Every structure is written in C-alpha cells, then in structure tokens.
A and B are shown apart, each in its own frame.
Chain A
Amino acid sequence: MKKPSLICLVAGLALLPFAGCKQQAGNAIKIGEFASLTGKEATFGTMSHNGTLLAIEEANAAGGALGKKLLLLTEDDQSKQGEPSTVVKKLISSDGVVAMLGEVASSRSMEAAPICQQNKVPMISPSSTNVRLTEIGDYIFRVCFTDEFQGKLLATFARKSLKASNLAILTDTKSDYSVGLSRDFRAPFTAGGGKIVAEQTYNGGDKDFKGQLTAIKAANPEAVLITGYYTDVALMVRQGRQLGIQVPFFGGDGWESSKLIEIGGPDVEGTFFSTHFSPEETTPAVQNFVKKFQDKYNQTPDAMAALGYDSAMVLIEAMKRASTTDGPKLRDTIAATKDHDGITGKITLDAQRNASKPAVILTVKNGKFKFVELVKPE
C-alpha cells in the first residue's frame, strides 16, 4: 500500500502546529472567538458565530476601531470538553488576541475563563447563563441574563400570569443549563408560596418521556415547567398532550427555535417560554439586523445569533470608548458599559459583570412565535 507516503502526509499535518504559522495581521486588532462550529452543539455555535461575524464586518465597513481594522480569529472547539482551554491558549499565546468572545455553553465558557482571567484578556460570553461563570474573575463578562434572573422571572410568570401555584418540573440531568435553571426557579417559586408537586428528570437526547409524563399527570399540577432544549421539549409537549395533560407547559430560552414549532406541531400552541429577544420586534434596529442576517446567511437569526452580535458590539464600543486595547483599561471600560443599544435590548453590565436587561416571554400562536410580555430586572 502507499504506506510511506500516507505516513509522511499525516506526519506533515501533525507537525503543522509547530511550524509557527502565526496569523499575520499586519496592522489590525485581533479579537479571538471560540465556538462550537462542529460537533453536537454545532447549531448553536454556528448561529452565535454568524452573529459575531456580522457585527465585526459591519464595524469594519464603518471604519473599524481606533483607526484599525478588526480581525476575528475563530477557533472551533468541536463541542468537546478539553478543547476550549487548548484553543483559548492558542488564541492568546500564539495569536496574541486582545479580547475573547465565547462561548454559548456555560461548561465550555467556564473551562476557558480562568485562562483569560490569568492572562488579563477580557472575555465576553454571548449566551452562557450559568451564574458561576462571571464569578471566576473580573475579566469575565456576559451580555445575556443569568439563570438566576431567568429562574426568578419564570417563577413570577408562573404565579402571576399562569396563576399556577402547584407545578411540576422536568429537568434534563445531562445539561448543566437545565439543572441550574431548575434550581434557580425552585427557590424563588417556593419562597413565593408555590408548591412543586412533581419533579422528574430525563436525559437530553431521549425520545420517550411517557414514563415521566404519566407520573406528572398523576400528581395533577397546574402547569409544567421544562427547563431543557427545544429538541426534547417539542416531543415532551406532544407526548404530554397525547396522555391528556391539558395544563400549560412553559420553559426557558432553551426552547427558542423554529424547530420547536416544526416538530411540536399543533401541540405546542399555547406554550410559553422566556428568551432574550424576539425577531418580531418592530424596532428598526432589530428588523435591520434580521434583514442583514438573512441576506448574508440565508436563515432567520435566533437569540444565539443576536447575542453573538451584541457581544461583539459591546466589545467594539468599549474599545472605542477606551481608546486602547490594553487589557486592564479595556476591562474597566467594558465593565462600565451602560445602556448599550443591543439587538437584545439595552445592555448594562452590573457589578457582577452580568447583563442587567429585560427578557421577553413568547408564546406560540397559529404556528408562529408571538410576543407576550417584557420582563424587566428589578
């Protein structure tokens, strides 16, 4: 067989990382991004990346920042544990980026954050909602709300709008997002006098939930909270309705995707979920963004894309305000972000470096998402 040449080819590939191929940038500002472009969570990662890229290109078209063009260096972490720390080290040590954008999944963000913190490189996560992320250090920021905030608002929504005081919760034990959101919902809900009559768990990727749903039906809740992702939620709601569960289903931003309606069909009518933004919002900024995104990528943007866009914009605006890309000064300026006009709302970074901004509650009506209410942070 052509064994020797195969080995040479593979060996050549293997030695590439050491060839010192530094990204030649000339006179540009290098911004690093790590995202899941392949692997299990590629759909979320690519959406987020597309939004970020759109923002960078827009900024460059308007002249860049500090008189230089912006160069986005993106690395794929393959949705795998262990990869984010490697690629972030590459971006910081080999490529010399001045700031980091990423990631969607809290676990992967938390893996990379200590490295950014240690190297004094500001990191802005577009959509990691786990509370513990920004606790890692003062160089770590996020432009989305935390699960603590989302849990609280869902608890209020359940009590006030759904008028439900007896609830069932379904949690995806495989997902740290789901476990966290359920936990952050339970506390304010029970503190406000609510009662959890049934709690069941499932594994993300499962298809059959009739076991859990039958147990829930027997407990007679007034509403059912599912803190997981749309892929499983759609099937769950269908099966729940099939079993005869008539009460409202609701959940968090993991529900948001057009596939929810596609897979769920008529069964998801009348369900509710909280999320970061609604592509229906009639503000010119949102409509503009939606149109530009559709023109460039031929798909409708979702919350991941919008947050990816906002994370980049917050960074660029801070750069301009700071007039420098120096780590500590840039960090201070990012921390002072106030009322930044984002696609996902007015972004103010609070003392814990989380975004203090409203969330929207959407429902499904006539096969489309419909805006229900805006929930402001206290």
Chain B
Amino acid sequence: MKRLNPKLLLVIAIVACFGLSFVAHSRLINAYYLDIILGIGINIILAVSLNLINGYTGQFSLGHAGFVAVGAYTAASLTTFGGPSFLAAFGGAKETVGVPALFLSALLAGGIVAAIAGFGVGVPSLRLKGDYLAIVTLGFGEIIRVIFQNIEAVGRSSGLKGIAPYTTFFWTFAWVVITIFTVLTLVHSTYGRGFLAVHDDEVAASAMGINTTRYKVTAFVVGSFFAGIAGGLYAHLKTFIAPAGFDFMMSIEIVTIVILGGMGNTPGVIAAAILLTLLPQGLRIIAGTEIGGHSLRWVAELRMIIYAALIILIMLTRPQGLFAIHGLKPRQSRS
C-alpha cells in the first residue's frame, strides 16, 4: 500500500481546517460550543508540546504555564500596541490581508520568545534529574509569573484587557495540525531516538556518544515554542490575560492531561486533552441540574478531588495512561 507523504497530509489537513472554519463560525454552532472547541484545540497543542518534554524525553517539567504566559503576553502586546499602526499600512486590505499577517507574526513572535525562554530554562536544568528538575521548572514558571506581575506596560497584576479576538477555528486547528506534525516527525527521526535514549538512560546514552545536552535542550525549545503559540491563541480567544492565571495550577492541569493520556503517547495525549477539556463543561451541566429537588452541585465541587485521585490511581494501576495502545513500556528498574 502506498504510504502517504506526511507533508502532503499536512497541507491537506490545513486546507481542511480552513474549510471547516467556515462551518465552525457559522450560525450552526453557537458561541459557547465554539469556545469549547477552540479550548480543546489549545489544550491539544499544550499537551502535545509538554508530552515532547515530559513524555518522550523524560524531563519532568512543571513550569509549562510560564512558557504559555510568555507567548500570550508577547503576542498580545504586539497586536495591542503595535497592531493599529501595522494595520493602517494595509489600508483597504486591512481585514483580508492585514489581520492575518498581524496575527501570524504575533503568534510566531510569541512562540519564538517562548522558545528562547525554553532555552533559558533548559540549559541550566541540564544536570538535573527527576525531582530537582521538577522543582526548578516549577520555580522558573513562578519567576516568569512574578516578572509579568511587575511589568507596568502590560498592566501588572490587573492584566491586559481588550486583546483583539483574532483566534478562529482555522488558526487554532491549523496550529494543532502543525504541532502534531512537528512533534511526530521529530520523534520518528534520529532526534526521536535521541529523546528516547535520554529518557531511558542518560548515562548510557552519553557513553554511547549521544549529545544528551542537544536533545534535552531541543525538547525544551520545541516544546516551549508550541506552548508560546498556544499562549498567543489563548490570549486572543479570551481577550483578557492576567499573570495570576498562568500559575502552578495551569501547569498541573497540562501535566495531568499528559499523564492520563500516557507519557510519550501522542494519540493518547490528544484523546486525553479532548476528554479533560470537555469534562469540566459536562460537570457544569450536572452541577446545574437537580434530581428530586436536590442540587447536584456537589459533583462539581468534587472535580479537582477526582482529578487528584485519578492521578494517583493511574500511577498505581495503569501508569502507561488511560489510552495506551502502544505507549512506552514501563522501564525495568535496576537495583
């Protein structure tokens, strides 16, 4: 059977997104459902990008929210402060050419700055493993948040409001496709072998001549690039961002998706992202209903407790994740 050229698939997928975008933004789907769908897209990008760092390369990062914040603030600042003068240059073609050009540039800028931040976090973390790395990345996430809290130009703790609502189905899912394509291509290439080698046994890998530094930093840089893109999409969807929203809890939620999906299992992680985005909304419906006069709000109150219990249960019973079809096999330990 002829194997489809992946690059061709990529192009087809992006074109499909463009087409579907018209459906998504039509009257058929109301604003709430659209919001959920776009949220799913953003979460997929976040989870797949984190999966590259945590899952494939085994670098346990708890600071992903920091990269999201960098991307969000960079992109939002560009469109909010630089947007009007940029668009004015386009004159009549403002809507058709100007806005997409502006948004694309802003997103890319957000991704690149986030990637630089990823580099900045990845390099010092090179020598660290496991627990130390987790705490240091958590620390970096917090430091980034505190920095934004102190920048007057973006409103400090009051946040940045009035961001232009540029995020559409097309933009979100085109980037979803690009993210998945990039990560899968990387993973199935020599780089992928490198990631897995670092994940399995760093000492053995470097003894074999593998430049573990290069792979670890690559994972961080690529992962944080896409986190930055997701941040830019997020900012232009919610039209309001504040430093407090990019806290440790956001990092934990993304980590939960990766764990549930199966670390190193991209299809599983995508499925988990969809599930965990829909779950709170589903619980919302339950919470609002009544059975026999008793409100079911208590179910929603248990949501985070259920998440936490789920993490523990999965680790104890099914560490390869809920959706493991062919995820990474759990390693045998050595004494």
Contacts and interface: CB of A to CB of B under 8 A. Distances in A.
Direct contact of A and B (CB under 8 A): yes
Interface in A73-100: 73-76, 80-82, 85-87, 89-90, 92-94
A290 to B, nearest CB: 25
B322 to A, nearest CB: 7
A174 B158 CA distance: 9
A7 B240 contact: no
B288 interface: yes
Interface stretch (B11-19, B79-87, B273-281): B273-281
A93 B242 contact: no
A93 B157 contact: no
- Most central of A85, A130, A180 by chain B CB within 10 Å: A85
A299 B267 CA distance: 50
Given A81-B245, A86-B35, A3 B284 contact: no
Contacts of B281: 16-17, 86
A85 B239 contact: yes
Contacts of B245: 80-82
A365 interface: no
A261 B322 CA distance: 49
Nearest to A1: B317
B279 A180 contact: no
B30 interface: yes
Nearest to B160: A110
Contact of B322 (A7, A74, A81, A82): A7
B286 A13 contact: yes
A23 B286 contact: no
Contacts of A191: none
Interface in A6-46: 6-7, 10-11, 13-19, 21, 23, 37-38
Interface in B257-286: 274-275, 278-279, 281-286
Contacts of A57: none
B157 A174 contact: yes
A74 B288 CA distance: 8
Contacts of A87: 284
Contact of B275 (A10, A82, A89): A10
A173 interface: yes
A179 interface: yes
Nearest to A109: B240
B156 interface: yes
A294 B231 CA distance: 45
A85 B284 contact: no
A111 interface: yes
B319 interface: no
A317 interface: no
Interface in B19-54: 30-36, 39
Contact of B35 (A7, A21, A38, A85): A85
A17 B161 contact: no
Contact of A111 (B156, B238, B300): B238
Given A80-B245, A94-B30, A75 B157 contact: no
Interface in A109-159: 110-111, 114-115, 130, 132, 136
Nearest to A12: B282
Interface string B205-243: 000000000000000000000000000001001111110
Contact of A176 (B32, B242, B275, B286): B242
A368 B48 CA distance: 55
Contact of B279 (A13, A90, A174): A13
B244 interface: yes
Contacts of A15: 278, 282
Contacts of B244: 81, 107, 174
Interface in B89-130: none
A200 interface: no
A160 to B, nearest CB: 29
Nearest to A80: B245
The DSSP consensus for interface residues of chain A is helix
Given A16-B282, A111-B238, A89 B35 contact: yes
B241 A81 contact: yes
A11 B322 CA distance: 12
A106 interface: yes
B182 interface: no
B284 A75 contact: yes
A174 B242 CA distance: 10
Interface in A178-211: 179-180
Contacts of A333: none
B92 to A, nearest CB: 25
Contact of A3 (B150, B274, B318): B318
A175 interface: yes
B159 interface: yes
Contact of B158 (A74, A90, A130): A130
A119 to B, nearest CB: 8
- Most central of B150, B161, B162, B274 by chain A CB within 10 Å: B161
Interface string B167-184: 000000000000000000
Contacts of A114: 161-162, 239-240
Contacts of A110: 159, 161, 240
B32 A174 contact: no
Contact of B278 (A14, A73, A94, A130): A14
A85 B42 CA distance: 15
Contacts of B286: 13, 16
Nearest to A171: B157
B232 to A, nearest CB: 14
Given A16-B285, A132-B161, A174-B244, 8 more contacts: A89-B32, A92-B31, A93-B30, A94-B33, A111-B239, A111-B240, A176-B156, A176-B157
24 contacts: A13-B286, A14-B282, A15-B282, A17-B36, A17-B281, A38-B301, A74-B288, A81-B242, A82-B245, A87-B284, A89-B31, A89-B35, A93-B32, A106-B158, A107-B158, A110-B159, A114-B162, A132-B158, A173-B156, A173-B157, A174-B244, A176-B156, A176-B158, A179-B158
Interface of B: 30-36, 39, 149-150, 155-159, 161-162, 234, 237-242, 244-245, 249, 274-275, 278-279, 281-289, 297, 300-301, 303, 317-318, 322
Would you list the 3 A-B pairs with minimal beta carbon distance, nearest first? A81-B245, A14-B278, A176-B158
